[in-house]
Structure 1
Amino acid sequence: MIKRLVLITVLGTFLMGCKAKKQTTYSSRSNQETTATKEKTKGKYDSRGLYPLPEDTGKFHRFSIASVEEYIQTFSDIAQYEMRAYGIPASITLAQGLLESGLGKGELAVKTNNHFGIKCHTGWQGDYDFHDDDEKGECFRKYNHPMYSYRDHSEFLSSRARYSFLFDYGSTDYRRWAKGLREAGYATDKRYPQKLIYLIEEHRLHKFDSDVQQNSGIAIAEPKQYENKVHVVQRGDTLYSISRRYFISVDELKRMNNLNSNNLAIGQKIAVKSELTKK
């Protein structure tokens, strides 16, 4: 079982266009113990190449982050673990974490450990909380520990067809990843790519991508491959039934086909993507 991450409480400020501004301070342990915890957990992967998550005891862990440097120091290892397993650049993961969570100080991050602003979406069966975002009282995923948020971010991007093209860019092309996330609809902010790229280059987050590539002990995961398909609507079809068939959420189907409602007509052609299975 992995010990929970530990932090130092230090005064600091951070302002990078993040949505929530509420700040809360909690007690933390010494920097020496944080370093010791990282050393004990270093290199522990399971048979699938995934870093094991801390045991879910049902206890909600609260964190206090004082600076950009402290956030990076705390979560850079986790971002690299996820890069090895899923192929998402660690620099992108860290930059999104910084931006979406307001350095871990944003109201949503503080009360839910949600560092990536991932909403509940259809099919989410985990814990949740409500938070004002684009609309009032929207449903957001809630995690007992930030590491669950990092793992869910990896699975969120790698399991949805609309993000599949990002994995063709390679795991060190952070600029194209940043622009692609905006194109795929991860964020509505037109300057979202520029903000991610600024964070990556200002704090040299791309060095974590290079570190993973140079690590010969663990190979970076190959991206999933998808093929474009067209589904012709039959009698009895609904967006939900189609989403279940092709493992795509209803929201993704509507985005891919520019649909404003759930209404379908027999014979209507719906664009879908299906994961290719390796032979």
Structure 2
Amino acid sequence: MKKIITMLCLTLLIVSCGSSKKVATKKGRQKTVRVVRNKKETKNDTKEDVIVVETPIKDTPEVYASKTDEYIAIYSDIAQDEMRNYNIPASITLAQGILESASGQGRLSVEANNHFGIKCHEWTGAKIYHDDDASQECFRKYKNSKYSFRDHSLFLTERKRYSKLFTLEKDDYKGWARELRAAGYATDRKYPDKLISLIERYQLYRFDADVLGKQNVANDKHTVVKGDTLYSISKKYNLTVETIKSLNSLENNDLFVGQVLFVKPIPKDF
């Protein structure tokens, strides 16, 4: 009887241990964690939006050899228009503007857009006072420089004392320079010399030829081509480099294709 009881107890103990182990295993499976892995993006799977940003190119300011060269570049078109409309040589207009306004740097041109030193006379517009032949003389003041050029043309065409100018050839800049002074435009006896010197130094007569449709056939100039240097040009025309620089008011040895250079001394016949 004791053996039977003992066997029953052992059986119950084994069953109990098995059930306990089974439950524990089941609970362990319920606690499994789900791991979600992100899909690795490859170069081929990924699309990139490419944004093209256009950066505007800033204009590089034009560099000029001198203020006079800059003045010519700015106002030559206006001077040529005045020549077409009023038959005044563009070379004369530019030379007077350069001389009277100090290449656009003088007080009258800066503060009054007056490039030709034209005084008030019968003027009813804006005015500026400036020391000239006398203290604090009255000069015309313009809203824009182009009106100064137009007034210069009207000033010459509407006054009888300048009528002889218009009997001269339109490209006779020397005759125009001398007659301007003779008609009383300026009191400086060297005024014609100064205008002629400016016209020839900066080749302002080329603007007259352009308006008149004349080709420049003078043989005292050289047009720069690729490969030219001041040294090679000086050898070609039997001049020194310094002479060429002096004839053309060059401040350095830089040249550009198409540049026109004097290669003969300017005659001093005035």
Task: Indicate whether the TM-score tops 0.5.
Answer: yes
How do 1:1-279 and structure 2 match up within 5 A?
30=59, 67-121=67-121, 123-214=122-213
| CA shift digits 1:71-120 (9 cap, x unpaired) | 00000000000000000000000000000000100111111110000000
Q: Which one has more relative contact order, counting CA pairs under 8 Å at least 6 apart? A: 1
The one-letter code sitting in structure 2 at the alignment partner of 1:182 is R
Amino acid paired to 1:133: D
One-letter identity of the residue aligned with 1:136: S
- 1:43 is aligned to none
Per the alignment, in what secondary structure is the counterpart of residue 212 of structure 2?
helix
Residues 4-61 of structure 1, C-alpha deviation per residue, up to 9 Å, x if partnerless? xxxxxxxxxxxxxxxxxxxxxxxxx9567x9xxxxxxxxxxxxxxxxxxxxxxxxxxx
Paired residue secondary structure (2:138): strand
> Please, which runs of 5 or more residues in structure 1 have no aligned partner?
1-28, 35-64, 216-279
C-alpha displacement of 1:170: 1.8
Letter aligned with residue 108 of structure 2: L
**Aligned pair in 2 of structure 1 residues 113, 66: CA closer, same or farther (>3 Å)?**
farther
**Other structure's SS at 2:139 match:** strand
Question: In the aligned structure 1, how far is the partner of 2:59 from the partner of 2:72?
Answer: 16
Q: Following the alignment from structure 2 to structure 1, what is the Cα–Cα distance between the partners of residues 182 and 125?
A: 28
- The AA in structure 2 aligned to 1:76 is S
| Structure 2 CA distance for partners of 1:120 and 1:84, relative to 1, 3 Å | same
TM-score (structure 1 length as normaliser): 0.53
Q: CA deviation at 1:66?
A: 5.7
* 5+ residue gaps, structure 2: 1-57, 215-270
Partner Cα separation in structure 2 for residue 30 and residue 157 of structure 1: 39
Residues of 1 paired with 2:86 and 2:193: CA distance? 24
Q: Distance in 1 between matches of 2:96 and 2:60?
A: 24
Mapped partners of 1:205, 1:189: distance in 2: 22
Q: Which protein has the bigger helix share?
A: 2
Quick one: which amino acid aligns to residue 213 of structure 1? L
Partner of 2:222: none
Question: 2-side partners of 1:200 and 1:97: how far apart?
Answer: 11
Gap change, CA 1:120 and 1:211, over 3 Å in 2 = same
Please state how far the C-alpha of 1:162 moved relative to its aligned partner.
Answer: 0.3
Q: Matched residue of 1:130: which SS?
A: strand
TM-score when normalising by structure 2: 0.55
Runs of 4+ in 1 over 2 A off after TM superposition: 29-32
Identity of aligned residues (%): 57
From the superposition, tell whether residues 210 and 146 of structure 1 become closer, same or farther in structure 2 (CA, over 3 Å). same
Q: Secondary structure at the match of 1:88?
A: coil
Amino acid at match of 1:107: R
Residues 209, 135 of structure 1: CA spacing in aligned structure 2 closer, same or farther, 3 A cutoff? same
Q: How far does the alpha carbon of each residue in 1:246-271 deviate from its partner, in whole angstroms, 9 at most, with x for none?
A: xxxxxxxxxxxxxxxxxxxxxxxxxx
Instruction: Supply the RMSD in Å over aligned alpha carbons.
Output: 1.9
Tell me the distance in 2 between the aligned counterparts of 1:133 and 1:159.
24
